[in-house]
Chain A
């Protein structure tokens, strides 16, 4: 039987540790991806992910279900990411794991792609990551939450504690900067609509 998040939260609050472990299993990938995209470091993202679940587990008795469990978890994670960025006092950086071979990395992700496709995707992925690293924290986080986690503008606004219009403005400004940056890197060609 598949429990909903709310049901698992209720069971966890009742002392069922395994229910919380199911929540971890369900959400650790998205939470890790969020942390990685915000801070840009694999090991630190994993630490943030672990810490987020630990804090959630500790704070579970105080979680009354006024928000979705995932939104609550995202908030905890973003707070940890903000602390990390503040501690390191710098923008997130793109980082390939030490000793990693980009071709091997790409090969792990899909054997059906050709080498050329893999190389192109790696190049594009690196360009996107680099461009994202240039954005201000608020714009970057807004894009990540909207683009990769499918949150609504209202959810993002609640999470970031800002008006809905601000979320849209951050998103537009962030996407515009990204577009220019990717154009500069040759990943996007200008005036697309003229060719469509």
Chain B
């Protein structure tokens, strides 16, 4: 494991170098500045070894492989069904266990009102009319929401804190977030995102990976369905606008 973990390798290197420098410098040569430099190395080595233990065992390439396979499968499904309507991100209270995305199969321009918990099936019915059906799928946001330590509260500040903690601290895919709410819209700005958005059919339906994460977490925070109304990337800032459902 140490072989593939740069933090642990650097930490062990600094631990050995720090010990070799600080001990002779203090006891033999009695040089304060050199001893201090050795202590610096030792402190950094402890920090690096501690961080090395927190790095996921799965290499990023494998994670990317799994992600792309999953997205490809969903894209194929959506394209084959010819769905053009936008996905509605539902909180866990309207699905079960995790927040999921619901794509209505028939849409007349308005978003369907989902008030009761949907059954955990790929094809789910949300109303009494024969056309009130859609597909209920898990997205990256569903899994990302399960990574949160606790359910965020329904205020812009709490959502911002949860998103920054997840995207910056846990996933390392952005430098920070900013959340603003006005009327029934929520605008989220993501600074310096490292995930690219595709231009496939499924992306127009489900939104980009970051938008999916943001929409799922926001749905969970407000406990209301969310729809991605707009997403754009300008000058290293990725902004997502969500429409809060009823």
Physical interaction between A and B: no
